[in-house]
Amino acid sequence: MGKTIRVVVCGMAGVGKTAVLEQLINGNVTPTTELHPTIEDIYVANVETERGTREKMRLYDTAGLPPLSGPNAAESSAQQQHQQQLAKQLLGVTEGYVLVYDPTKPESFDCLLTVKRDIDKNKDKKEIAIVILANRMRVINNNSSSPGTPPANLTASATLNKANSWAMREHMKHFEVNAMERASLLEPFVYLATKLSPPPNKSSFPQLSMVRKSITSRPDTAS
């Protein structure tokens, strides 16, 4: 096991960031589990990479970002500024990001666009890895839409298509997960651990052993 991988989990409030981490680490989240809004929290996990090695990952669960539009956007601008400042502080020690959104809430995806711009603006030349999680933990009821609004399943499909296109343009991996299903959460974190822990370089002295062998196997000239 090498160095500790540090990963920040970001997203709009209410998209299930804490549920994702609790399910991934402890596997104890159900539809009736009560989860309180996060201010800041840290989880630690040993994640097995695609190469079979185990890497220690420190996951920073951050407070939910406010929506960028709507009636609550103006009053929550101070919280948005605090989150941006936190992101800048963590960039110095962070190798990876997990950006979470709810595809049935298009505004939660729009929020990630600002987060990504802020990451790019402050990362300098540092190499980082980012994965996008579409957390579909809510049951979609087609009859629950208000009159004049598109059905929730159409909204989710449109948001997923938009997120897929964005992730491809930005060279990021996009995963559809469900915080109620632990198995769906494993692939993105295994991918992230593998991406952030490249295999060690081969020995830079391969000739040394060969030379030594040729010396020891040389006939003794004194005999």
Length in residues, the chain: 223
Q: How far is CA 52 from the centre of its chain?
A: 20
Tokens (6 digits) for 69: 């539009």
Place of tokens 């407070």: 63
pLDDT digits (tens, 9 = 90+) for 91-143: 667 889 999 999 999 999 998 998 898 888 877 777 889 999 999 876 444 44
Q: What is the pLDDT of residue 76?
A: 53
pLDDT digits (tens, 9 = 90+) for 58-90: 999 987 777 765 555 545 556 556 555 665 666
Which is it for the CA torsion 92, 96, 99, 100, positive or negative? negative
Q: What is the pLDDT of residue 164?
A: 96
Cβ atoms of 104 and 149 closer than 8 Å: no
**For residue 25, is pLDDT > 70?**
yes
Mean pLDDT of the residues in the chain:
78
Closest C-alpha among 112, 111, 62, 116 to residue 86: 62
Cβ atoms of 62 and 9 closer than 8 Å: yes
Q: What is the pLDDT of residue 117?
A: 87
